[in-house]
Structure 1
């Protein structure tokens, strides 16, 4: 089945974007209707983060989350298999792209919006720097090989496994490679700290502050938005006075700024993830 799915994505790549997005809309409808456990996760996340939102509007937002998730998934067809000129035309870099000039150690804060793969592809294709991304191995070896090839189709980027260790990651930063980091997920209690996210204590890995300090790197946020024409990959100015000596305050600031970007496009955030699965002692479960 995985091989058939990959073949479908290859065949879909050259089709007009309107067709790909229409198929994504249909797939999103199916996922919303059929994947009931994940729909409950999205519903719980939105209820926790937007308690004042009218229930009918919140359910409409749940539906749109599935649509955007599915559309972004099918977009990987042309992002990973489309002609380079087509990819460049649909992935539009905007904002403070000059932040990547030179060889200064740089850490990209790339939140989990549905366009996260589009953002990585745009940067590795269009910005002449060496890029490193942390990669989680897929359980299916066929899918794993496909994802690796897709994400690293352009020579500027290279994968880095979680098992490879922190020391080599820090060394790559100091050598001038740009690290693409997505730290805004719940990876369990072992290395997380509890900081606010939409007013709830959320287990958050403080890796952004930690890597910035160890690598002597500046932090440049990159926010990717799904648009009718493809994706806008917006590079924001480097954060000033970051990191500080207070790793908890740094991580809370990361979440606070993330909230502002989510508020601008709430249907494009990765709400299918159990962001609040780890709770502080004595706190009731969210799911």
Structure 2
């Protein structure tokens, strides 16, 4: 069963790469036509209209680049991203992900402060919350039963600004670029003042989404390289005992 899932994940990863190239090279309206099902649009619009700011927590599930384009179609969006080490790579991402209504914000100290202003002004931001932060920049919380270093950015933004936190993802449901958009509320605990409580709640939601169709989750991303200091564990990817 694990080998079957492994093949499905590799196939899905390849499909996601091809889809993304198409999304980056076509007009936005053509891409939005790929959303043959839309669930929760009204929820997002209502949260935005409330004027308290919206945080969209978007896991690496399905095609997150399509979600970015849908978010931009609803209004201005500040998207948090990890900048490539090479300047040319960063310039490329600015080109293909940019456009009207999209502002890309680096996932680092000075730039992140912009997000607080965006939310306090009633705007929206998109965050990929299942990326492993640097050591010291997060807390360990369970993800699929394994302690994973989890970012606290969603928690800090939500707690300090009172913004609404929603999960968002675009799930593949058919051949040739057919997707379903999903927007759902995150549990209130993601804004808990205790970072571990908040991270545990955040990860529980991400895990639930990934379990909808495990083949569409980006298992190729090495989420567990950093281990709890007191655990004595080593990087599992350095051995043959991979977590998943």
Q: Please, what TM-score do these two structures have when normalized by structure 2?
A: 0.85
Corresponding residue for residue 202 of structure 1: 148
What displacement does 1:147 show?
2.1
Q: Please, what TM-score do these two structures have when normalized by structure 1?
A: 0.73
Whole-angstrom CA distance in 2 between matches of 1:244 and 1:186 = 20
Q: Which moved more, 1:193-202 or 1:78-87?
A: 78-87
Which secondary structure state, in structure 2, belongs to the residue aligned with residue 113 of structure 1? Answer: coil
Corresponding residue for residue 221 of structure 1: 167
Whole-angstrom CA distance in 1 between matches of 2:82 and 2:206 = 23
Whole-angstrom CA distance in 1 between matches of 2:37 and 2:158 = 24
Q: Which moved more, 1:101-110 or 1:156-165?
A: 156-165
What displacement does 1:278 show?
0.6
Pair 178,93 (structure 1): closer, same or farther in 2 beyond 3 Å: farther
Confirm or deny that 1:233 pairs with 2:177: no
Contact 1:106 1:177 in 2 (8 A): yes
What displacement does 1:140 show?
4.2
**Larger strand percent:** 2
Corresponding residue for residue 14 of structure 2: 70
Pair 159,59 (structure 1): closer, same or farther in 2 beyond 3 Å: same
Confirm or deny that 1:158 pairs with 2:103: yes
RMSD of aligned C-alpha atoms?
A: 1.9
Pair 80,285 (structure 1): closer, same or farther in 2 beyond 3 Å: closer
Whole-angstrom CA distance in 2 between matches of 1:206 and 1:93 = 32
Q: Which moved more, 1:215-224 or 1:142-151?
A: 142-151
Q: Name which of 189, 194, 197 aligns with 1:249.
A: 197
Pair 104,66 (structure 1): closer, same or farther in 2 beyond 3 Å: same
**Larger helix percent:** 1
- Structure 1 residue runs without a partner (length 5+): 1-56
Corresponding residue for residue 175 of structure 1: 121
Whole-angstrom CA distance in 1 between matches of 2:186 and 2:11 = 32
- Structure 2 residue runs without a partner (length 5+): 238-244
Confirm or deny that 1:91 pairs with 2:35: yes
Whole-angstrom CA distance in 2 between matches of 1:144 and 1:93 = 32
Which secondary structure state, in structure 1, belongs to the residue aligned with residue 192 of structure 2? Answer: coil
